[in-house]
Amino acid sequence: MTDKPPKVTIHENTPTQQALAKAAATFEVVDARGRRFTLRKPTVLSQYRLIEALQESAENRVYMGMVLPLIYVTAINGEPESVPFTKIQVEALIQRLDEDGINAVMAGVQEHFGAQNAQEDQTTAKN
């Protein structure tokens, strides 16, 4: 009988790996109608593109506070959803989500990504 050395597994958890995992994290929320929304933190480029698409409307803080969480939506009921890059696409997403969906998405963004992070993202995108 030979003694085998114990199997050793090394798991690296570098800051880069942590950042990548956090960026790729998705969460699902369900609205009052039972629709499922997959949320993921948008890239900085997506945020800049949203600002560009909204043009003058992006200067309205209330409007941006209402719209910015919507770009966290990556799928609706499992169907991929693109980040809106025109004002018409933003309005189409608002119409598609309707009040129940918007409420669920906003609550999900606040719960999983933090309201402060959404505000920081908006500030970063505008500067």
pLDDT in tens, 75-117: 999 999 988 889 999 999 999 999 999 999 999 999 999 854 4
37 SS3 class? strand
Segment 8-18 shows an average pLDDT of 69
Give the distance from CA 114 to its chain's centroid: 11
* Every domain of the chain and the residues it spans: 26-126
Determine contact, residues 121/68, Cβ cutoff 8 Å.
yes
The share of the chain scoring above pLDDT 90, in percent, equals: 63
Count other Cβ atoms within 10 Å, centred on residue 71. Answer: 27
| Closest of 48, 37, 44 to residue 70, by C-alpha | 37
Residue 10 scores a pLDDT above 50: yes
pLDDT at 123 over 60: no
CB atoms within 10 A of CB 69: 22
Which of 34-43, 47-56, 75-84, 108-117 is predicted least confidently? 108-117
Q: Determine the pLDDT at residue 50.
A: 92
Q: Which structure tokens are listed for 6?
A: 């114990």
End-to-end alpha carbon distance in the chain: 68
* Residue 14 per-residue DSSP state: -
Please report, rounded to a whole number, the percentage of residues in the chain having pLDDT higher than 70. 77
- Report, as an integer, the average pLDDT of 39-67: 93
Phi, psi of 5 (to 5 degrees): -65, 150
Instruction: Judge whether residue 1 has pLDDT over 70.
Output: no
